[in-house]
Amino acid sequence: MLNKVDEALFHPETDAILLTEVLHALSDPVRISIVSQLLAAPEREMPCGTFQYSVAKSTFSHHIRVLREAGVIWVRHEGTRSMSSLRDADLEARFPDLLGAVMKNAPQSEAP
């Protein structure tokens, strides 16, 4: 997990991740799409600029923040890029089978 986290950004410890906050984070089509794209990415990590989305950039940034603060993703800066990665191992440790059950039921649609 070395270098996965930007210390300047809040990320909850695994033990402090709350079920209701994860469910809230996943209760939005854009955020579900972000998780879906990360699941398909190499190492489950992507530069924020490479996501597919059709909302305003500021709205997209808001969604990234909600996912980060809920404990669903890590965000770190690498030079001028912001890299997001899925905390799937942490989520599995904290809430077994939850992310899998949600994502297998997520619509396989275009990016919203």
* Residues of this chain that bind a second copy (CB under 8 A): 19-21, 23-24, 26-29, 32, 94-98, 100-102, 104-107
Looking at the Cβ atoms of 47 and 100, the one nearer to a second copy is: 100
Instruction: Report angle CA 37, 111, 5 to the nearest 5 degrees.
Output: 35
- Count of alpha carbons within 13 angstroms of residue 93, beta-carbon side: 11
Match 């991740």 to its residue by tokens: 17
> Is there a contact between 48 and 83 (Cβ–Cβ < 8 Å)?
yes
Looking at the Cβ atoms of 3 and 20, the one nearer to a second copy is: 20
Task: Give the helix ranges, DSSP H, for the chain.
Answer: 19-25, 29-39, 57-70, 88-94, 98-104
Give the nearest distance from C-beta 79 to a second copy in angstroms: 34
Looking at the Cβ atoms of 49 and 101, the one nearer to a second copy is: 101
Give the nearest distance from C-beta 29 to a second copy in angstroms: 6
Give the nearest distance from C-beta 91 to a second copy in angstroms: 10
Give the nearest distance from C-beta 81 to a second copy in angstroms: 29
Match 């070395």 to its residue by tokens: 2
